[in-house]
Amino acid sequence: MDDLPFQKITISGPTLSALMHRITTSLGDVDGLLFGHVTHLTPSTLTDDNTPQNPDSNLIATITSFFCPNIPLSFYDSLGRVDSVTLHRLVSSTTHQSNSSSSSSNFLGWFSARRKSPIRPSMREFCVSQSLSRLKTAAKGEKDLNPCVFLLFTTPVQGELLYHTHEYRAYQFRVNSRCFDPKSIGIDNIGPDFRGNYGCFSPNSPFPELKCASAMNDEVGEGLNRMERVLNDQKELDMVAEGFSVKDLGKLMGSETVNSTMSLEDLYEKMLGKLDSLARQVEKSNAKVLDMENHNRKLRYKIARPVPE
């Protein structure tokens, strides 16, 4: 697996969000280490193209974690020369924590975050990547792997901040050609390593089990119990389709289903209205959290500013 080309580089959504948050809250330029694993995809043989495929190009580097000391030049000097002692200490401590949390992680490369600068690697970043490419880290169950992944983050120049806050690109440093090979980066949120973040998520919202026939029952003998059941069913139905009655839901079953197109559309409209209401609540809460973060950042800057004598 020495200097083989990657098909692409992937990173999980929570990891990318945490990394960008660390970059945003830092006081200046920062850098750090990237950890993850490399997987080999089985090439598909079901194709009409007779062109031979290179099996070595089916490698995918997946970034699962990072380490950011919150200072620039954390493991190298101003000329891009890597301090092997400091690097070994940082890698060993991070991989030890990863192994203790039962998640396999290997040293893949590093990242650099700059502000208001062109999004292209600098000469110093080239020297750092070249120094890292000469190192070997034993990947579990695999051949020796060069830490060749490089992520570059920058903030847009003045006037472009209205569109987005960060720009980022992924590269693979090729040892033989001594150059950066741009790679596409994918946001991967699904997989065994990230399943814990989505344990409560279901792609299809389960509709509550309701006894709709109780709303159609007009027997007087159990009037009180029937009304209590209808009220409980209505509360459960309002959780997914607020404003749609249980009685109308009962019409969507049985012989009356043929003439229930309008009721079904009304049900979908109520469900979409509930989702829209939840989305607006989340949007307002995010705005409040952002205001609180900006206020806290101003307080930290005010406290850290030296008092004039």
pLDDT tens for 176-224 read 888 999 998 888 765 555 555 555 555 555 556 666 554 444 444 456 7
Spatial separation of the C-alpha atoms in residues 179 and 129, rounded to whole Å: 9
Residue 80 structure tokens = 């891009």
Local confidence band at 170 (pLDDT 50, 70, 90 cut-offs): very high
- Domains, the chain, ordered by start: 6-198 (3.40.140.10), 212-283 (no CATH)
What is the longest distance spanned by two Cα atoms in the chain?
A: 89
Burial label, 125 (beta-carbon count in 10 A; 0-12, 13-18, 19+): buried
CA–chain centroid gap for 90, Å, is 24
Residue 196 structure tokens = 């814990």
Is the pTM higher than 0.75?
no
Residue 267 structure tokens = 């049900």
DSSP string, 56-75: GG-EEEEEEEEE--SSSSSS
Residue 204, φ and ψ in degrees, nearest 5 = -115, 115
pLDDT tens for 245-303 read 777 766 666 556 556 666 667 777 887 888 888 888 888 888 888 888 888 888 888 88
- State the amino acid at position 116 in one-letter form: K
